[in-house]
Amino acid sequence: MKEEKAIHLVKPMLGKKRWEHTLNVRDMAVKLAKIHGEDPEKAALAAILHDCAKELPKEEMLQIFRENGTMAGNVEERPQPVWHGVCAAIIAQVRWGVEDEEVLSAIRCHTTGRPGMTRLDKIIFLADMTSKERDFPGVERLRKLAKKDLDQAMCSALESTLSFVKDKKQTADPMSAAALEDLLGNCPDKEEDQDE
């Protein structure tokens, strides 16, 4: 699927603000792809598709999971904020015929990460967190880190996500802790970097 087709399909599914977010994620994903040697077209496509299910009612997502049990896996047992990524990957594949496994994976794990993340997975995760409109404390530092080193940026981003969820007394998805555990080996300078 080409980016223009994805835009045509996703834009009507999202409100104005979320569509702007989506375009900002696309811009950041393309930027990171170019820096880190990833295919910018793949990054743009995954970014445009990543939040397509975000505004679907819970019942509709559940219906989609029931109809696509193998792809949905145990998603219903995971925290609800995680559902829309899995649901978006199913919609992209089943309804819209997206076959690129790397694109589907990046959409699927964009909220949580996963162990064994590919470069494209990391780019979409980080583009989603550092898109232009994001303004949480530390976002500028994370933007710089994402341009410099995807693994270190992922470690930092997952740590923030996990502590944010903990502070809000929400349940963390075990996949995020597993993703962090997996990445820590690639972040030897992380502690030093944190102390900056």
What residues line the site for Fe ion (CB under 5 A)? Answer: 51, 128
Least gap, CB of 196 to Fe ion (angstroms) = 27
Spatial neighbors of 41 by CB under 8 A, at least 6 apart, are: 2, 3
Closest separation in Å from C-beta 80 to Fe ion: 12
Q: How far apart are the first and last CA of the chain?
A: 42
Of the two residues 85 and 150, which places its CB atom closer to Fe ion in the complex?
85
Whose tokens are 């219906």? That residue is 63
Closer of 118 and 193 to Fe ion (Cβ): 118
Measured N-to-C along each axis, helices 174-184 and 150-167 cross at an angle, to the nearest 10 degrees, of 150
Q: Smallest gap, in angstroms, from Cβ of residue 171 to Fe ion?
A: 17
Kindly tell me which of 102 and 193 has the beta carbon lying closer to Fe ion. Answer: 102
Our measurement of the distance from residue 41's CA atom to the centroid of its chain's CA atoms, rounded to an integer in Å, reads: 16
Selection from 135, 132, 128, 138 nearest residue 159 by Cα: 138
Nearer to Fe ion, 131 or 156 (CB): 131
Q: How far is the CB of 126 from Fe ion (least distance, A)?
A: 11
Contact 117, 179 (CB under 8 A): yes
